[in-house]
């Protein structure tokens, strides 16, 4: 690691509460107060998918080990499981 910025992930309308890489290092997920999670390509910062299904702030998110399933948790008292395509 050389400390250089690889990409800037821009797209949420409100603050981001959590971000994490998948185990493979190919995707990043971000959880936000705008009621969404976003999935990004880690190499180029391009938005891959927006996950919409919460009615309030999303404050937690995680990939499963294989990286093909995501779980999100929000202030709407819901955890949502998202299966990859």
The pLDDT tens digits of the residues spanning 11-22 come to 999 999 999 999
pLDDT at 61 over 70: yes
Distance of CA 33 to the CA centre of its chain: 12
Identify the band that residue 1 occupies on the pLDDT scale cut at 50, 70 and 90.
low
DSSP per-residue codes, 7-40: ------SS-EEEEEE-TTSSEEEEEETTSEEEEE
How far is 68 from 85, CA to CA, in rounded Å?
Answer: 8
Domains of the chain (ranges, CATH numbers): 16-83 (2.40.10)
**Residue scoring higher pLDDT (1 or 56):** 56
Identify the burial level of 55 via C-beta atoms within 10 angstroms of its C-beta, where 0-12 means exposed, 13-18 middle and 19 or more buried. Answer: exposed
Q: What token pair was written down for 71?
A: 């779980």
How much is the pTM?
A: 0.91
pLDDT at 85 over 80: no
């Amino acid at each position: 690691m050389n400390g250089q910025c690889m990409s800037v992930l821009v797209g949420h309308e409100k603050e981001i509460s959590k971000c994490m890489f998948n185990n493979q290092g190919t995707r990043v997920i971000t959880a936000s107060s705008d009621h969404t999670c976003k999935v990004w390509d880690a190499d180029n910062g391009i938005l891959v998918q927006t996950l919409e299904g919460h009615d309030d702030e999303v404050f937690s998110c995680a990939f499963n080990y294989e990286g093909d399933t995501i779980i999100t948790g929000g202030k709407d008292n819901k955890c949502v499981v998202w299966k990859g395509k």
